């Protein structure tokens, strides 16, 4: 685990070290599958812990520069991601949905917090 921050955290919190390693392994697996985003509730299912605890771990990975938060704008009807944004302020009030072919406003959309994997940092950390 070459990430100094993760190493130090795992040393200080040995009970959490297996979860940190498991999350790192999952991130590495995603990269191997050429998937660049991590969804907290999906990661929670892989780790067998709550979504809240997974978000806690992910904030640690964010501090280590391995993941960065993004806001995915999702069409509620189809579950398709229509756009991905760095901050909530960037999210448009309306958006044309490629999947439905309709213009959606806030009532038709959902915002999901996801984490983009910083590929270089994650690959180094997992090495």
Each as own residue / partner, the long-range contacts of residues 46-52 (CB below 8 Å, 24 or more positions apart, any chain) are 46/22, 47/19, 47/22, 47/23, 49/19
Show the site string, 13-52: x = touches other proteins by CB under 8 A, - = not.
Answer: -------------x--xx--x-x-x-x-xx-xxx---xxx
CB 102 within 8 A of CB 80: no
Span of 5-13, 15-23, 62-70, 100-108 interacting with other proteins by CB under 8 A: 100-108
89 φ/ψ angles, rounded to the nearest 5 degrees: -65, -25
Identify which of residues 13 and 111 has a Cβ nearer to other proteins in the complex: 111
Q: Considering the complex, what minimum distance in angstroms separates the CB of residue 39 from other proteins?
A: 6
């Amino acid at each position: 685990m070459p990430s100094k921050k993760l190493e130090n955290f795992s040393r200080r919190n040995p009970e959490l070290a297996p979860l940190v390693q498991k999350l790192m392994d999952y991130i590495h697996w995603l990269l191997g599958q050429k998937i660049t985003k991590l969804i907290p509730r999906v990661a929670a299912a892989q780790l067998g812990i709550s979504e809240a605890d997974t978000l806690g771990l992910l904030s640690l990975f964010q501090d280590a520069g391995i993941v960065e938060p993004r806001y995915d704008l999702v069409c509620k009807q189809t579950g398709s991601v229509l756009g991905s944004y760095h901050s909530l302020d960037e999210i448009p009030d309306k958006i044309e949905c490629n999947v439905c072919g309709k213009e959606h406003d806030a009532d038709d959309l959902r915002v999901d917090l996801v984490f983009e994997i910083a590929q270089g940092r994650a690959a180094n950390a997992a090495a």
